[in-house]
Structure 1
Amino acid sequence: MTTLGVVFRPQNPPERLRSVVRAADEAGLEELWLWEDCFLESGVATAAAALAWSDRLTVGIGLLPVPFRNVAVLGMEAATLHRLFPGRAVITLGHGVQDWMGQVGARVSSPLTLLREHIEALRALLAGETVTTSGRYVKLDKVKLDYPPADATRIYAGATGPKTRALACEVADGILLTAGTPPEEVAAARPMAKAITVYVHAATGPDAGARMARELDFWGESDKADTTALGGAADIAAVVNRYKDAGADAVILQPTADEPDLEGFTRFVAQEVRTLVA
């Protein structure tokens, strides 16, 4: 069965998160995804809070920019989340927006090399191994976590370009695709990817069309209206089912930046859209 979820965007202040998490948990939503966009909110801090405020909700971070983090620090953070909330956290790694990485002095000349080295080292650390490596960017000398996760963990990679998608399918447990990705691209990635999670622009309510038009204009995707989920529960479920049929394991509905009722949108997805998704 395809998993259904919602994005809590960091354009919303952190203090809004608790009520959205409670709404998601009470309504039976399967997954809530968080972003770590510069310079808004921490992905790890918000994920820890969301997991603590819920009883059963899976929380994904999509994504953590690897130029920001030493892999040993991220290993400690990820292991702590997984031990506190077994099986409920999904960590996604990615290049980050290169202009933002440049702003903080973390931009690298080969993002692909860094992402590969980071994922491979993180996987080994979370498996409880003692890791020594001297890569182009990742360098560890006999590093071993004292509290690795007791069970296997999921490491996803976010990808847009073909080279990063190929790398994600090779070294990660799943691939995260951005909103605006058409179902045809999901189907193309399906034979290579171990699992696919895809964001989908979504809006409901009387002003949904106007809000979606503004949203697509902001992203420079006005020509991608056919990748959006717009309208009532049946309309949105039909789009979710298109992505399911294309091979998506999880479809995460991404509300517009000006969504007026995040809690209501979350309940709508969990209670009305969910029942219509095959």
Structure 2
Amino acid sequence: MSTAPVSIGVAGVLGPATIAQIAAAAEQAGLYALWVNDTPGGDALAALHEAARATETLVLGTGVVPLDRRTPDEILIDAAGLPEDRLILGIGSGQASGPVLAAVRNAVDALRERTSAGIVVGALGPKMRTLAVEVGDGMLLNWLPADIAADQAVEAHAVAPGATVALYVRTALDEGGMPRLRAEAERYARFPKYAANFARLGVSADDTVLTPGAEGLAAYRASVDEVVLRAMTASDDAAEYVRFVERAGELAAG
């Protein structure tokens, strides 16, 4: 696998204005894409509208919109006007109950009928990973060491050679971001589905992150089709994220 492009991921709670600044910096730094987590109080699609106005070529993605909070119809309404040629709609099952695989399949089909944007699925277990590449354009992985991400990418490409495998990697590029990185790892290690997955894979959350110096970035770039550095900064000040983006651009170019 060739060296994957590097992107940045941020939380929607930063707000559209701050995310627009980050997007402009990411495009200037030569990063591939901006992914925005859709969270309670943080509307990813609203942020992407501002990011689109601030950029010309940067790919824009939602990482991801949970289907328990927004239906495909609502996603399409909120995405209207975004440049579909550089938009990736990332969706996930969230806390949906019932037949989750069927719900995700139906959502991908509904989106596919009405948009030419890329559609990827946030996937953890093997069934969801297979579904993501069978019906979508690819999958967005999370909390994996490079070797396991590589294995899952190989499996995905065996099912759908043209599918894109992107991977979120929590990253602190200076010591100021380390407290937040540690807290994020501890928080996810307590989530039942992630705790079960870490146990099944025989890894810890700390095995899946990048710390200052970013040793291991090359291995991640060799393992998947796109590496999304989920930015862990000392604060939510826009200047902190711009510095992160500039450093990420240097690492990607180097």
Partner of 2:97: 108
Give the 3 Å change call, closer, same or farther, for CA 95–28 of structure 1 in structure 2. Answer: same
Is the counterpart of residue 254 in structure 1 residue 233 in structure 2? no
How many residues are paired up?
231
Q: What's the RMSD between the two structures over aligned residues?
A: 2.3
* Residue 161 of structure 1: how far off its partner (Å): 2.1
The structure with the largest alpha-carbon Rg is 1
Distance change (3 Å), C-alpha of 1:90 and 1:108? same
Partner of 1:188: 151
Are 2:88 and 2:120, in contact at CA under 8 Å, matched by a contact in 1?
yes
Could you say what secondary structure the match of 2:97 adopts?
coil
Aligned-residue offset at 1:31 = 0.9
Task: Calculate the TM-score normalised by the size of structure 2.
Answer: 0.81
Residue 168 (structure 2) aligns with: 199
Query: What are the Cα deviations for residues 99-158 of structure 1, in whole angstroms up to 9, with x where unaligned?
Result: xxxxxxxx43122111111112221233xxxxxxxxxxxxxxxxxxxxxxxxx4311010
Match of 1:95 among 86, 93, 96: 93
Paired residues of 1:215 and 1:257 also in contact (CA < 8 A): no
After superposition, the Cα gap between the structure-2 partners of 1:209 and 1:36, relative to the gap in structure 1 and judged at 3 Å, is closer
Q: Which amino acid aligns with 2:90?
A: T
Secondary structure at the residue paired with 1:113?
Answer: helix
Matched residue, 2:22: 20
The one-letter code sitting in structure 1 at the alignment partner of 2:205 is: K
Report the CA distance between 1:173 and its aligned residue: 0.5
Matches within 5 A, 1:116-195: 116-126=105-115, 152-178=116-142, 180-190=143-153, 191-193=155-157, 194-195=163-164
TM-score normalised according to structure 1 size: 0.75
2:172·2:212 contact (CA, 8 Å) conserved in 1? yes
Secondary structure, counterpart of 1:181 in structure 2: coil
The reply to whether residue 220 of structure 1 matches residue 189 of structure 2 is yes
> In 1, distance between residues paired with 2:61 and 2:247?
20
Letter in 2 for 1:187: A
Relative distance call for 1:124 and 1:211 in structure 2 (3 A) is closer
Q: Cα offset for 1:5?
A: 0.8
**Could you list the runs of 5+ residues in structure 1 that have no partner in the other structure?**
99-106, 127-151
Q: Which has the higher contact order (CA 8 A, sep 6+)?
A: 2
